[in-house]
Amino acid sequence: MINKNEYRGKLWPPVEYFQQLSRLYDAIGEEIYLVPLLESNQRLTFSMTGKPHKLIAIIDFPEPDPEQHLYPHLLVFADGSGLNLGKILKISRNRAFNPDIKDVLYEDRPMQNVLMYTPRKLNRDYIQFVSRFALGEILGKKELQQFSIKAPVEKPQLSLFVKGGK
């Protein structure tokens, strides 16, 4: 899992970020496909709509912050919207789903590993554990996070880059 201390004492953003940023600059004026992060107070997920967005500019983001997953650059689209690169899992050109490796312009590998490729456990005990954990986090009651069944081996990280998360 990604945590707040991951980048302490290291170069942030990593060198790969700037290599990918160079590919994005080359794509200005083209239609690209995004896999953006979707945030709420309870969960972090992603969306794969397959809708193209025309990239018209990349601007410096004035307040980058690794703890909030805000990177130093913001993409601007022809519809007037903008999105920070830290809020995007993947960007490709030519096609949205299963793009060729040469068409992948940007990937946030650590976040992809957390959200896209983590094995899922959907049994009654796990769902009950995660529900109580989330409720305890939302209400600020640690006693709800203690549960009599054996907790899953991996404790859920529900506050990963979510507003108000610790």
Residues 74 and 23 in one domain: yes
R_g over Cα of the chain = 18
Instruction: Tell whether 164 and 133 lie within a shared domain.
Output: yes
CB atoms within 10 A of CB 119: 5
Contacts from 76-83 at CB under 8 Å and sequence distance 24+? 77/53, 78/53, 78/54, 79/53, 79/54, 81/53, 83/34, 83/36
Answer yes or no: do 94 and 124 share one domain.
Answer: no
- The total of structural domains in the chain comes to 2
Asked whether residue 107 falls in the same domain as residue 139, the answer is: no
pLDDT in tens, 5-23: 554 555 677 778 888 999 9
The DSSP H or E segment spanning 55 is strand 52-60
**What residue numbers bound the domain in which 105 lies?**
15-115
What does pTM read for this prediction? 0.61
Contact indicator for 75, 55 with CB cutoff of 8 Å: yes
Look at residue 101 and tell me if it is in a domain.
yes
104 shares a domain with 75: yes
Across all residues in the chain, what is the average pLDDT? 75
pLDDT tens digits for range 46-60: 677 888 999 999 998
The answer to whether residue 73 is domain-embedded is yes
* Paired residues of 91 in beta bridges: 34, 106
